[in-house]
A = this chain, B = another copy of it.
Amino acid sequence: MSESEGPTRRVGRPRTAVLSHERILEAAFELADANGPEFSLASLARRLGVQPSALHHYFPTKAALIAAMRGQITLRLGTHGFDEQPWYEAILPWARASIEAFGRHPGLIAALATLPIDGEPESIADYERIVAALERDGYPSDLIVPALVALESFIIGSALDGLTPPDNLRPVHEPERSPALLRTEAAARAAASAAGITPAQRTFEFGLRALVAGLRAVGDAGAEPRTTDADAPASRGISG
């Protein structure tokens, strides 16, 4: 959109500002859409026709810019009717919109995943809506945030999985050494093809339903003191 291939602006403050938070964010999304994991401030500056250092006047660090992008993405997710439907219904379109949004910006997924939420009003508001629905539906209080985070972890991991080639798990080098993998990978790829979607998309939809069903089962049994405790086994496996 904004081409401006550098009429070599001279030094000093321009008469009218060339940049703004909005213009930078817009160009940043264009750059992130042009797929490939190459998202750098330098290439963003090139696209905007400015020097890289000019960007730091609006966003102090690269992480701050990405945090702002995350806020925009969250805004566009929409509400998905958590107020009208039970959480396990409304969460499905929310999850689909989330991975779709992540998939549109391949170069950002890893960065978005590790970014602290911190003071991000949009993400906080999004979480608040979902958490409130779980509370309203009687989900066990101390398992609401874990359920939400587990779901988001699955979404993030699936988004990264979507970056791998469609036949990523196909044993091409020594197929005779992994016959079961060869068989089942072909079956899964054929099923995805028949459905007109990628294997990664089919995997996501399948895993999403399984995870939500599992989370729901625990929540329904949530009135009693919880025999399906989530705490016990961790002491025998996971460390720091």
Interface residues of A (CB under 8 A from B): 37, 92-93, 96-97, 99-100, 103, 110, 113-119, 121, 124-125, 127-128, 131-132, 134-135, 141-147, 149-158, 160-161, 163-165, 168-169, 171-174, 177-181, 183-185, 187-188, 190-192, 194-207, 209-215, 217-218, 228, 230-235, 237-240
Contact = CB atoms under 8 A, between A and B. Distances in A.
Given A149-B169, A155-B157, A180 B210 contact: no
11 contacts: A96-B238, A110-B110, A114-B163, A115-B164, A117-B169, A128-B180, A135-B183, A150-B154, A154-B207, A197-B238, A214-B217
Count the copies. Answer: 2
Chain A contact residues, majority secondary structure: helix
B146 A188 contact: yes
Contact of A178 (B124, B155, B164, B214): B124
A235 B196 CA distance: 8
B150 A180 contact: no
Nearest to A204: B238
Nearest to A120: B173
A173 B135 contact: no
Given A124-B174, A145-B185, A214-B215, 19 more contacts: A99-B238, A114-B160, A119-B172, A125-B177, A125-B178, A128-B179, A142-B187, A142-B190, A146-B202, A150-B206, A153-B157, A153-B160, A154-B211, A191-B231, A195-B235, A197-B235, A197-B238, A201-B238, A210-B217
